[in-house]
Amino acid sequence: MKKPLFAVWWTLFGDPVRAFGVVSLLLLISLAIAPAKNHFSEWRHYQDQYLSLIRGRGDAVTLQRHLQGGIQQIWLPDLGVVDRCTTCHVGLKEASLADVSMQPFRRHPVIPHKLDEFGCVVCHRGQGAATTVEEAHRSTLAWEQPILPARYLEASCGQCHRAALTGTPQLNLGRTLLARYGCVSCHTVKLPDGGTMQATDDPPSLSHIADKTTREWIYAWLKDPQAYAVSATMPNFKLSDPDARDISAFLIANSTPLPEDTATLPASAPKAPPDPTTAASLYGESFCASCHAVQNAAGNVVGGDIGPELTRVGSKVKPEWLQAWLRNPRAYDAETAMPHYRFNDQQVSLLSGYLEGKADSDLLANVHLDVATPEQIAHGKTLATEYGCAACHEISGIKKPENFAPELTRIGSKPITQLIFLRGMPHTLPDYISAKIRQPRSFGAALKMPQFSFAPAQGDALTTALLSLTDRSQNLPRALTVPAPRPSDYQPAGKAGKLMADLACFSCHTINGRGGDMAPDLTWEGSSVQRLWLQAFLKNPNTLRPSLIRRMPRFNLSDSEINELTDYIMTVYQTPAFDRDSMPESGYPAAQVEQGKQLFYAKYACQSCHIVDMKTDKGYIGPTLTQVGSRLNAAWIYNWLKNPQALRPAAMEPNFNMSDEDARALTAFLMMQRNSGKQEAKK
């Protein structure tokens, strides 16, 4: 064994001259290592490949001139970016490479940002400083930030942009879901501007739950909320039978009665609905479906999602409570999004009878609960505390827990080394978050996080929203953040303000930045409409936009309430942009009216979306204008025609860049549209 080694040693170094030669050769080789490594590096290979790719093209000379050999780097100290990606991705900025699909030479798709200002890793993640394919894109021993899959790319936009963007529907949806499904009730998410994300769901208080429903229903609901209502946002806590039994026992025992809920209707009111179609049409006329959904025979959930689904509501609520609720929902829940409809006793009886009929006999068929023992009730309280029920619901006797679940403020930058993955799961942060959302209990049966019922697209949207919560989003230079508009806490004052709260106007309408988006923005309503029309509309809302299925319901307001509201709206909701008396309501010259008519039908073709003459016009995207002369203010029409978006930024009607003369003629024509008024006068 030792002899051949010795022989080799002797051959190489036995003779001093030969030894000198061998050592020199070794030295030369070692000196050549660095340049050789450089020469055979991956990026040089790609740059050579790029050169041969562009050689045959028509614009080869231009492309070649753009190509700078060697390692390229985008250095942005403000963002902490050192990106060498452009060393291999050499064609990113070449518009003429649109047909090249081979990576790394593909042109970058058009985006609103410049590569030199933001670099690559801000959006794509990965290791910007790396110069090999493996280290730049994947998590290796030295690095753990792999490339963000295209599936979640919108997360990167969300690091700087806190407001909703047109181009990021997935991110927008994810953020909405985080708030709507109450994720942020348990998990704190701090925003860079110092605020925290707020939940937008409205989980009911459980302090008076025994007035509303039975223990059996609570049990069935806790066991499987989606069995009661497929669109329920309440997650499934996978409770065992005894646990559900004990929590339901606790909630009933803990509930205190409210006097209004037990008051029954006067005997004069009919007990049962005399005619089911009358009740159904009252449900329709009151536009209950604008907020409440019902699952139809085909399994589709049809209706709005502001209020709870009513498919099986008859199996849930007690008749006395339902009647009290329909009479005045604010007596049970002062903050509810449901308007106070001012139904009369007969209507309450009709509607409650109709809703009681929406029952599912199977739901509670197998629920048999014995009388609860004090031990069960005490155990129920312990469970309700442990599962964090009070993080979402108000429960008397249990405080809302603080920091109940892990904070998610920087979840998008969580190091992989701090995560515990399941067997067989890809070791990446997006996969971890996505699995946590889909199957939280698969990470351990003892975990408290409940099972939500998200569709795959919703899960992806949530993952995207969570991935946007990175270290970078917290540490961005102020100049680069695009904050969301501050949530408005606008509150109308005085008696009218109380009335608007009672009618829950803000559930559908936005005023001064606060409110829902189902109905028109009323911020400048006082400048827009005429007083008499508003009074008549509040008394009996008629159809303005035939294409909409969600409409303003009739609240059965008294005359004094209508006056109160009208006075307030006409006085307070005035735009400073123009004077509402700057245009006359009538008395336009016939020639100008005729010119307006020509413009309406020919030049601007307004009939594509609006109806002025019921016989000839058919367009129904915009409001019907047959009576617009008695509905809208003339100065409003004129200014609206000049620039709709200046008055309501979200308006669909395009800005026609109309001349003053045209706008005046059209206003004259529109102000003459008072058909029904004339007919009524004739009668």
Partner 1 sequence: MTRSSPALFAIGLIVVIGSAGCAQKSVPPSTLEPTAFGAALVESSGGKQIGATGAVLGEPVVVQVNDEQGNAVPGALVEFSGPAGVNFDPRAGLADSSGQFTSNVELGGVAGRYQITASTLTKTQKRVDLKLEEIALGYQAQVGHQLDEKYCVRCHDPESTPERVSNYDNLETKPHAFTDGDTLNKMTDADLTAIIGHGGPALNRSALMPPYGYTLSKTDAQALITYIRLISDPPYQGPGMMYVQK
Residues near partner 1 (CB under 8 A): 101, 106, 109-112, 149-154, 166-170, 302, 456-457, 460, 547, 549, 602-605, 607-609, 618-621, 645, 652, 654-657
Give the shortest CB-57-to-partner 1 separation in angstroms: 12
- Return d(Cα 683, Cα 665) in angstroms, integer: 30
On whether the CB atoms of residues 175 and 157 are closer than 8 A, the answer is no
Residue 659 structure tokens: 């001349």
Give the shortest CB-534-to-partner 1 separation in angstroms: 27
**Strands 293-295 and 301-303, how do they pair?**
antiparallel
- Return d(Cα 294, Cα 508) in angstroms, integer: 19
- Return d(Cα 520, Cα 652) in angstroms, integer: 12
Give the shortest CB-298-to-partner 1 separation in angstroms: 12
By beta-carbon proximity to partner 1, the closer residue of 256 and 547 is 547
Give the shortest CB-200-to-partner 1 separation in angstroms: 21
List the one residue out of 150, 122, 233, 229 whose CA is nearest residue 460: 150
- Return d(Cα 437, Cα 458) in angstroms, integer: 10
> Alpha carbon of 425 to those of 421, 450, 579: distances in Å?
7, 21, 65
Give the shortest CB-517-to-partner 1 separation in angstroms: 13
On whether the CB atoms of residues 305 and 295 are closer than 8 A, the answer is no
Residue type, 669: F
- Return d(Cα 449, Cα 325) in angstroms, integer: 32
- Return d(Cα 302, Cα 230) in angstroms, integer: 11
Give the shortest CB-455-to-partner 1 separation in angstroms: 9
By beta-carbon proximity to partner 1, the closer residue of 383 and 461 is 461
Residue 380 structure tokens: 């129920």
- Return d(Cα 222, Cα 244) in angstroms, integer: 6
- What length does the chain have? 683
Give the shortest CB-557-to-partner 1 separation in angstroms: 29
Residue 532 structure tokens: 């008499």
By beta-carbon proximity to partner 1, the closer residue of 153 and 206 is 153
Q: Which helix (H) or strand (E) holds 219?
A: helix 215-223
Give the shortest CB-130-to-partner 1 separation in angstroms: 20
- Return d(Cα 116, Cα 113) in angstroms, integer: 9
By beta-carbon proximity to partner 1, the closer residue of 45 and 603 is 603
Give the shortest CB-165-to-partner 1 separation in angstroms: 9
By beta-carbon proximity to partner 1, the closer residue of 477 and 654 is 654
- In DSSP notation, 239-305 reads --HHHHHHHHHHHHHH----HHHHPPPPTTS-SS-S-HHHHHHHHHHTTGGGT-EEE-TTS-EEE-S
Give the shortest CB-533-to-partner 1 separation in angstroms: 25
On whether the CB atoms of residues 669 and 599 are closer than 8 A, the answer is yes
By beta-carbon proximity to partner 1, the closer residue of 166 and 417 is 166
Instruction: Provide the 8-state DSSP code for 70.
Output: S
By beta-carbon proximity to partner 1, the closer residue of 166 and 418 is 166
Distance of CA 455 to the CA centre of its chain: 15
By beta-carbon proximity to partner 1, the closer residue of 199 and 289 is 289
Give the shortest CB-654-to-partner 1 separation in angstroms: 4
On whether the CB atoms of residues 503 and 558 are closer than 8 A, the answer is no
